[in-house]
Copies of this chain bind each other. A is one copy, B any other.
Amino acid sequence: MSQWAIGIDFGGTAIKAAVVDKERGIQTERKLLTDTASGPGGIVVQLSGIVADLYREASGSLDPGHFAGVGVGAPGAVNVVKGVLSYPPNLPGWTVFPLRDELQKCLHEKEQLSLSVVLDNDANVAAFGEAVYGAGREFQDFLMVTLGTGVGGGIVLNRKLYHGAYGTAGEVGFMILDFDGPTIHAGIRGTLESFIGKKGILAIARQMIEESSTASAVTDLCGGDYARLSPRHLEQAALKGDEVSLAIWHRVGSLLGIGLANVAVLMDIRKFVIGGGISAAGDLIFVPALEQLRRSMLPPMHEGLELVPARLGNKAGMYGAAALCFG
């Protein structure tokens, strides 16, 4: 009989939780809207309730003697050793909060359950999910990049999460690619996220559409209102062969490739797993990214370079959080 755990992907919008069997994967899933209004204390009660429900339900069919623990992936800076979450974005009223211990305490006091909890950053947890259950299974070392509203990253070295001295490793979105460039993100000029975070992509798109001498199918897709333009429109138009949209994705992919090159030369990581909503654009991004990655590195360092799409979609966090608990 294999181990099982509860994996939680906790964000400013939703809480996704699953019972994960080590061998057979996700057995049950829950999704709730995050009760942001109630602050850290209220959310701990909410999390505790979900865990208790899932645990009691699963204990009917799975052996509690094989329960490995509760893993939680959370946005913001996480001190893994202390189990403390700091300044999670989109969660008003949170500053620095000992989420791991408070959740353990609440499970014990409110639910009479003595379950051990581990906490890690959401980007790390997603990377670990891909490492154990997804696109990173064959890779010893890799970087997972999540392309969404922001650009996040998680580093797996030697099949383990690499946290760094303060637990903040993998912040690829903050790498500077053009220090006197036109874009700014969180007050810092020319970062990867400033270019290819969702806002950055839309800014590139608007500029390239305006500068283009040919009409773009995107204009119709967003009803002529560029304020309504979304990455999905750009994807649809590109897949129909729209030249401007293809050029936009080419530029986005190239910028990603430059960022990956910086990771590759510094850390000698040559495998990249690309996930997040924006990565749905697939080869529209992947092909130019790999081309640019190669162009940005000396040929003796090209050996083994590989870019692959993430495989677990929005379940990576639940998988990875549970996997943190398995020995």
Name A266's contact: one of B177, B188, B262, B270 (CB within 8 Å): B262
Which residues does chain B contribute within 8 Å of A261, judged by CB atoms?
174, 176
A and B contact pairs by CB, cutoff 8 A, 24 listed: A77-B300, A87-B300, A140-B165, A141-B164, A164-B268, A164-B269, A165-B269, A165-B304, A166-B304, A168-B265, A169-B267, A169-B268, A171-B301, A172-B265, A172-B266, A174-B261, A175-B266, A177-B178, A178-B190, A179-B258, A188-B297, A188-B298, A266-B267, A267-B267
Given A164-B269, A186-B298, A177 contacting B174 (CB threshold 8 A): no
Which residues does chain B contribute within 8 Å of A178, judged by CB atoms?
177-181, 190
CA distance A296 to B179 in the complex (A): 9
A127 to chain B, nearest CB (A): 13
Given contacts A176-B177, A188-B298, A262-B266, 5 further A-B contacts (CB under 8 A): A163-B268, A169-B266, A169-B268, A176-B261, A178-B190
Q: Is A104 an interface residue (CB 8 A)?
A: no
The answer on a CB contact under 8 Å between B180 and A262 is no
Which residues does chain B contribute within 8 Å of A298, judged by CB atoms?
174, 186-188
A265 to chain B, nearest CB (A): 4
A217 to chain B, nearest CB (A): 28
290-327 of chain A: CB within 8 A of chain B: 295-298, 300-301, 303-304
Which residues does chain B contribute within 8 Å of A141, judged by CB atoms?
164-165
The answer on a CB contact under 8 Å between A266 and B179 is no
Interface residues on A, range: 35 or more
Tell me if A's interface is mostly helix, strand, loop or mixed: loop
Given A166-B268, A171-B266, A266-B267, A86 contacting B176 (CB threshold 8 A): no
CA distance A176 to B178 in the complex (A): 8
Residue in B closest to A164 when the chains form the complex, CB atoms:
B268
Q: Is A150 an interface residue (CB 8 A)?
A: no
Which residues does chain B contribute within 8 Å of A282, judged by CB atoms?
none
Which residues does chain B contribute within 8 Å of A258, judged by CB atoms?
176, 179
Q: Is A167 an interface residue (CB 8 A)?
A: yes
Which residues does chain B contribute within 8 Å of A162, judged by CB atoms?
267
Residue in B closest to A166 when the chains form the complex, CB atoms:
B268
A272 to chain B, nearest CB (A): 13
The answer on a CB contact under 8 Å between B266 and A166 is no
Interface string of A167-208 (1 = CB under 8 A from B): 111111011111111000011101000000000000000000
Q: Is A54 an interface residue (CB 8 A)?
A: no
A25 to chain B, nearest CB (A): 28
Q: Is A287 an interface residue (CB 8 A)?
A: no
Q: Is A281 an interface residue (CB 8 A)?
A: no
The answer on a CB contact under 8 Å between A165 and B268 is yes
Which residues does chain B contribute within 8 Å of A169, judged by CB atoms?
266-268
Which residues does chain B contribute within 8 Å of A304, judged by CB atoms?
165-166
Which residues does chain B contribute within 8 Å of A175, judged by CB atoms?
262, 265-266
Q: Is A280 an interface residue (CB 8 A)?
A: no
Q: Is A263 an interface residue (CB 8 A)?
A: yes
Which residues does chain B contribute within 8 Å of A165, judged by CB atoms?
140-141, 268-270, 304
